[in-house]
Structure 1
Amino acid sequence: MVKKITYSILSIGVLISIWAFLGRDTGEHFDIFVSPQYGDFKVSVATTGELQAKNSIQIRGPQGAREIQIWNMTIQNLVPEGTIVSKGDVVAEIDRSEALTRLQNAELEVQRAESQFEQAQLDSSLTLSQARDNLENLHFQLEERQIAVDQSVYESPAVQRQTQIELERTERQLAQEQQNYRTRVRQAEASIREIEATLTQEKNGLDRIMRVMNDFTILAPENGMVVYARNWQGRKTTTGSSINSFDPVVAELPDFSVMESITYINEVDIQKIRTNQSVQIGLDAIRDKELTGVVTSVANIGEQRPNSHSKVFEVKIEINESDTTLRPAMTTSNEILVETIENALFVPLESVHNHNNDHFVFKREGIQTVMQQIIMGARNDNDIVILEGITEDDQVMISMPPDTSAMRKIRLPENVLEKYRDELVPEEDVVSEQEADIVEAP
């Protein structure tokens, strides 16, 4: 009988326990406390980047396109990115339609200049031939005048004088025509030289177009892997893209022995970045691959990147290791080490709260929880250094209690606050959304 009563009591207790467990309010708040950590605190800036070869050979389009007044060229064919090519292999073809139009126009101009040259030669030949006939006739006429003068010795003085005048007039006319002939020869030569120069110029223009058109078939300058170039907007140059004659880069042949990660830092964090800072690098494509690097370049002027609402600054990070698995355009996760603070006390960012421009943590004091004012130091993406307010032995609450109305608030002494007066400026990025939920104790 006693055993039955005992079993009944135990069964009822078990049922009550099960009911209590299953019927527990799912909205119950659980307080999670953590202890501050003590040690070296690393301040870093995390950012994503993209791999590219530090050194590469550019594959360029026609170099003389500007000489034939072609400013933009369309890529008609381009080998797939990643293709391994040998020196002299065809990499791309440029659309020749505009160049062909210019070639046809140049051929017409050459034909026109050749016709003008031939016509000028014929005209000069005819003109000079007529001038030579006139000179020959004047020589005959002069000879006749001389005969007349010789025969006039038996005539009256007036007749002799008349024949002499005719002779002198013919001599002067012959001299004048000889001078005119020499002038006509020089004029014809000058005219032909001018037309010949125009013809040469047109032929040179035609040769230039033909030479540039030969470069519309782009060949690999060296052995390597083809990597598409990017335009000023960061877009890859592919089939159908337009390249500018001032910088006609189509693709690159990268040198994989030295790689670098190109990343862009926002204007808030760029003040922390300096050259020679060390970097921990991860690859999104190979999760277990860990690399190291160093900041080699920090842009002085910001730029507006596509799909970005704020200015960013380009930062180049050289990879220390040489790895055959590294390829251009791989995405990297970069953690740039800005500063290492030795012997620092730090807590998770989530445990710090802002109220009336003061910063607090909720720490355990005996069986109670109190609001403890703190002075913050440096921070990273996960933790923040606490300069004053707690010790390594304290325990702080991760989240905010649901009710703070009756909670005791412990403020730091005035002399401590005065010491860290500059650090009391509120930081907008430290869990400030919880500020309004804190209620002052009466």
Structure 2
Amino acid sequence: MAVKRKHILITAVVLCIIAIAAFAGSMSTTKSEKVFVVEKGPFEATLNCKGEINGLVATPIPMPKILGDRDLRIWQLKILNLAQDGKYVKKGDFIIQLDASQIISGMREVQQSLETEEADLKNARIDSTVTLTGLREDIKNAKLDLEYNKIDLEQSIYESAAYQRKAQMTYKKAENTIAKKQRDYLLEQNKLKMKVSRSEEQVKRSQDKIAKFQQAMQAARVTAPEDGIVIFGENWDGTKYSKDGTISTWSSGPPIATLPDMSEVISETYVKEIDISKINVDDDVRVTFDALEEVTINGKIKSIARVGEDHKDFDMKVFKVLIHLDETNDGLKPAMSSNNNIIIAQETDALFVPLKAVFKEGGNSFVYLKTGTGPQKTSVTTGVENEEFILVKKGLEEGDKVLLQLPAEVI
């Protein structure tokens, strides 16, 4: 029994030794995790930015031009109803109904004015007819007087010289009277013609204005010019057009809505000014979508804005960037959010270390090499970085071991 107890005791001691060794090994492993062995391998750095999907080509649905006609004096209209944003519509389908009450009241005012103007025109024509008829009668009578005076002049050859002279003067006076009456007739005719013409023009303007109001009433109901997914525009404050809201009638303003063609897709995004120098046109991009978890589409940067702008979602200037997707997907919808990973560096055989292994001092970068004699401070030349690692262009070789934190003697 004593021998057996001795064997049990020895076994227990051995197990304790093994446990202690294992614990020591685990402690050693923990310490080794603070060291990174430099290896060569694939490296990629990306710039991540949120974007919004849209069609490369989109058919605008502008404010009907007639509603912005200055003659109508309508500056904005209330939205009575509109189609669902993002709904697929066919050509001729309902898009938006604007309140036509302003149009109707304006047309009624013009119609009342037109009644008065048409009465004035009728009176002007009657006055012209009566006046000119009277003047023509006067000219006709003056011509009869001239004939009478002509006969008297011809008979005066048998009278005294004084009588002949008087007959000649009477005849000449009759000629002058006719000439004057003819001139007066022409002047009055032109005067009355202008008066009638002005009345006709006023009536024509009112008639044209009424015709514009009638066109405006029809235009207050906007329909789709072709098939597509309708995406409504925004008010001056950035809010989407909605029922009971108002909309400006400026035909030169932004469109009421657009019908994007999703056969070719772009992602519109904004890049901060501190990052804009990292990207270039034709850079590769991987695009993913929150709404389509398993879909990834490659693309390229199509354009970069030359001028920065202020944006409500950023605290600094940003540059608008358009990314053209290489393909489309049935699940893509206009205005869908996208995650754009712009590839700013990609190497298949690169040296890189964790970001926390590189330290800065006076604008220079350095690492601490693990050597047999202790940590050795070594200068390095770095390149681009991603969320975890940074490229090392100079200063390290494959197999080097670098510390992931400052050595104790430095701390």
TM-score range (shorter-chain normalised) is 0.7 to 0.9
CA shift digits 1:108-135 (9 cap, x unpaired): 4434432332232122223213213323
Partner of 2:365: 359
SS at match of 1:261: strand
Where does 1:20-31 land on structure 2 (aligned, <5 Å)? Answer: none
Superposed CA offset, 1:157-183 (max 9, x none): 645654554344233312321332233
The equivalent residue for 2:175 is 171
Cα deviation digits, residues 5-45 of structure 1 (max 9, x gap):
978x979x99xx9xxx9xxxxxx999633333412322332
Alignment counterpart, residue 34 of structure 1, candidates 33, 36, 57: 36
| Amino acid aligned to 1:55 | V
1:71·1:246 contact (CA, 8 Å) conserved in 2? no
Instruction: Return the alpha-carbon distance in structure 2 between the equivalents of residues 247 and 81 of structure 1.
Output: 20
**Cα gap change, 1:44 to 1:198, in 2 (>3 Å):** same
Which of 301, 317, 327 is the aligned partner of 1:295? 301
Distance 2:95 2:274 in 1: 43
* Deviations 1:195-241 (CA, angstroms, capped at 9, x unpaired): 32333233223322322332121111112221223467764333325
1:329 aligned partner: 335
Q: Is the 8 A contact 1:61 1:216 kept in 2?
A: no
Q: Distance in 1 between matches of 2:157 and 2:393?
A: 140
- Residue correspondence of structure 1 range 162-241 to structure 2 within 5 A: 162-230=166-234, 235-239=239-243, 240-241=245-246
Amino acid at match of 2:326: N
1:139–1:374: structure 2 CA closer, same or farther, 3 Å change rule?
A: closer
Q: Is the 8 A contact 1:272 1:338 kept in 2?
A: yes
Residue 61 (1) aligns with residue 24 (2): no
Partner of 1:266: 272
Structure 1 counterpart SS, 2:226: coil
SS at match of 2:311: coil
Given that 2:235 and 2:247 are in contact with CA atoms closer than 8 Å, whether structure 1 keeps it comes out as: no
- Taking a change above 3 Å as real, the CA distance of residues 342 and 396 of structure 1, as seen in their structure-2 partners, is same
Q: Bigger relative contact order, structure 1 or 2, given CA contacts below 8 A and separation 6+? A: 2
Q: Deviations over 1:62-86 (max 9, x none)?
A: 1233433545444332111122222
- Corresponding residue pairs, total: 393
**1:384 alignment partner in structure 2:** 390
1:117 maps to 2:130: no
Distance in 2 (alpha carbons) for counterparts of 1:156 and 1:238: 103
Percent of aligned pairs with the same amino acid: 28
Distance 1:112 1:303, change over 3 A: farther
User: Are the counterparts in 2 of residues 283 and 289 from structure 1 also a CA contact under 8 Å?
Assistant: yes
Distance 1:80 1:220, change over 3 A: same
Amino acid at match of 2:351: L
Moved more, 206-215 or 159-168: 159-168
SS of aligned partner of 1:288: strand
Gaps of 5+ in 1: 22-27, 408-438
SS of structure 1 residue aligned to 2:214 = helix
Distance 1:370 1:237, change over 3 A: farther
Give 1:384 shift: 0.4
Uncovered stretches (5+) of structure 2, i.e. residues with no partner: 24-29
SS at match of 2:309: coil
Asked if structure 2 preserves the Cα contact closer than 8 Å seen for 1:31 and 1:397, the reply is no
